[in-house]
Structures are given as C-alpha cells and as structure tokens.
Amino acid sequence: MWLLRPPGTGCFDKDQRRAVEVLFDAILPGDPRRPGAADADAAEYADRLLAMGPETDPEIPAWRLAYPVLLAALDTAAQQAHGGRGVAELDRAEATALLRDLAAGALPAWPADALAQPAAFALLRAHCIEGCFGDPRWGGNREAVIWRWYGYPTPAEPFVRPGTATAGRPGEDS
C-alpha cells in the first residue's frame, strides 16, 4: 500500500517560490468572486512535489533539474522586458504576457539547456492546475478552496476573498 509522505521542506528557495507564485497566479487568476492559484496556494503543491523522490513520480528528478533553469531563464526574459524587474516583481498582466510568449516559443535568448519554451509552459501550467484542483494533502488547493467553490464533495460554497464583500458561485457572471 502506498502512503503519501509529505517532505519536511520544499524544493524552492525564497526567490524561486515567489516567482512560481507570480507565474501560477497568471496561469489561473482568481478575483474577489472566484478562487485562483494564489488562493489555493498552488505553488506550495509544486514546492512539495519537487521535494519528493522518484518513488512518488518518476519525472520528479527531471522536473527538479528543469525548474531552476526555467525560472532563471524567465527571470532574465522578464528583466530584459521590464527594465530590470524579475518575475517576482511582475504584476499579473506582465506575467501573463511573459507566459504567452513562453507558450508561443517567442522569448529571445532562451538557454539551450532549458526545456523548449512550449514544453516549459506546459510544465508550469500542469503543475499549477494540479496544485489548484488536486487533493489538499499534496499541498495545494488550500483548505479545499477550489473544490468547495465548485461544490465538491458538498454543495458549492460562495467564495469571498478576505478583504472583499462580494461572493460568487460557479457559473455566476461577474
């Protein structure tokens, strides 16, 4: 029988973690009425996942090698495009544009030792989605926020981002 054994620490350093948070927020943004990657703490999922070993997923060692190169390359691209500001300092619109260029393979001076740009985007996107919609025991979907908003496993609950007064349910227009 396989048991989930969360690692004691994460894989990312402070700057990498912040960059992943910014990127994931751009991939699956929330708003006052709908939870997103930041609300689900999807970056925690990726951080924990990469700290696990190949017994959890045989691709983890490759991902653990890919992320630092990918994040450094994105940081360089962000600095070139935004006057020296790295990924961690981008707003959502700027991070979205960076990711759009990554997905299209349009970022200049991409390092040869990095994943191809569309594959790098696919990896970030997959881990973001897993971190938002997966079982909270894996570190993302904090307090099952996205499950609860969608009504799984109980009826949908309104989402109210702290500091706001409006609530939204799945299917409601903004």
pTM of this structure: 0.86
Q: Tell me the percentage of the chain whose pLDDT exceeds 70.
A: 88
**Residues near 41 by Cβ (< 8 Å), separated by ≥ 6?**
131, 139, 140, 141, 142
Grade residue 172 by pLDDT with cuts at 50, 70 and 90. low
Grade residue 13 by pLDDT with cuts at 50, 70 and 90. very high
Q: How far apart are CA 54 and CA 50, in angstroms?
A: 10
Tell me the mean pLDDT in the region 47-70: 94
Residue with tokens 């990711």: 99
Residue 51 contacts residue 118 (beta carbons within 8 Å):
no
What pLDDT score does 158 carry? 78
Residue range 116-149, pLDDT digits in tens: 999 999 999 999 999 999 989 888 999 999 999 9
Residue range 82-119, pLDDT digits in tens: 999 999 999 999 999 999 999 999 999 899 989 999 99
Looking at per-residue pLDDT, the higher value among 171 and 72 belongs to 72
Q: What are phi and psi of 67, to 5 degrees?
A: -60, -50
Grade residue 75 by pLDDT with cuts at 50, 70 and 90. very high
- Number of CB atoms found within 10 A of residue 115's CB: 21
Grade residue 1 by pLDDT with cuts at 50, 70 and 90. very low
Q: What are phi and psi of 121, to 5 degrees?
A: -65, -45
